Amino acid sequence: MTKPTRRRSAAALTAPLILLGAFGASSREPLLYVSNEIPNTISVVSPRTNAVIATVPVGKRPRGMALSPDRRTVYVALGQDDALGVVDVASGQMTRTIPANRDPELVVLGPDGKVAYVSNEEVAHASAIDIASGKTLFSTPVGVEPEGVGITRDGTKLYVTAETNNTVSVLDAKTGRLLKTLHVGDNPRTVAFTPDGTRAWVSAEAGGNVTVIDIATDSVVAQFPIRDGKTKPVRIAFSPDGRLAYVTEGAAASVSVVDVARHAVIDSIVVGRRPWGIAVSPDGGRLYTADGRSNSVSVIDTKTRKVIAAVPVGERPNDLLYIP
């Protein structure tokens, strides 16, 4: 990915930090976290009001985020700090950072929440970090420009995309040993697992397609285009029942709705410019996209497949994280 310049917007310097208090993890109030690359902040959006209720300053170039199993902590990849920022959900403050090797892009947690796995884009590695101690457990070479990273439901295997090599590296999640290298579409961006945990879907931005991998055998079982193959698919989210997949299409300013069983696009939803991150509410009723060039989040009613709100956030929103 192209690196943005290191600068802060005036809005980021003056935006107040609003403590979350009643919106913390112990309450029933859901939250939507949005990482903003340019002002180095996280916007906290209320899904009930579709409004920003807090701005959390973090480190430089926040991108991917992951939620702890107890929903109390958010980990954000800080690409220009070579670290993970640790954000306490209840207080709405970053409490510490954890070294995460060079240029972490995206992050996932193991099932027990004790280990964070990151794609280190600049050095073409994938790393595992013990959260409690901050110790790097392994850092394994993968393909050039790794971005997407995902872990199987049982926590045994890690999947890492490589944008330049057009591959997915399958690693042993405990040791970091390379188990297999799979060839997928051109410029693969995201690894997303179906809700039943049996398949991994990999979006290919330049290839304009999605590759489907069988988790049991680590083999490619299908590949299909997203519309005309020119819409630049980036990230993927599944409906809770696993029947539909939603794919952000950066260049087309839209989201494709895919029938999972048929591997077929059945609808397209126009959103803001350059949608990247995507999230679905736990009940499946709302879909959210981080529109990187519109500096907003699109809120979509999944029944009507229409945008019902556009929430202004920080400059260059990248990733979304729904906290129930």
231-254 pLDDT tens trace? 999 999 999 999 999 999 999 999
- Residues in CB range of 142: below 8 A, 6 or more apart: 119, 124, 125, 126, 160, 162, 167, 169, 171, 178
Q: Does residue 212 contact residue 220 with C-beta atoms inside 8 Å? A: yes
Residue 166 pLDDT: 98
9 pLDDT exceeds 70?
Answer: no
Residue 38 pLDDT: 98
Residue 27 pLDDT: 52
Residue 316 pLDDT: 98
pLDDT band at 73 (very low <50, low <70, confident <90, very high): very high
Closest CA to 189 of 148, 229, 230, 220: 148
Tell me what percent of the residues of the chain surpass a pLDDT of 70: 91
97 pLDDT exceeds 50?
Answer: yes
* Rounded CA separation 98/78 (Å): 10
pLDDT digits (tens, 9 = 90+) for 296-323: 999 999 999 999 999 999 999 999 999 9
Q: Is 284 left (phi over 0), alpha (psi -120 to 50) or beta?
A: left
Please state the pTM of the whole predicted model.
Answer: 0.92
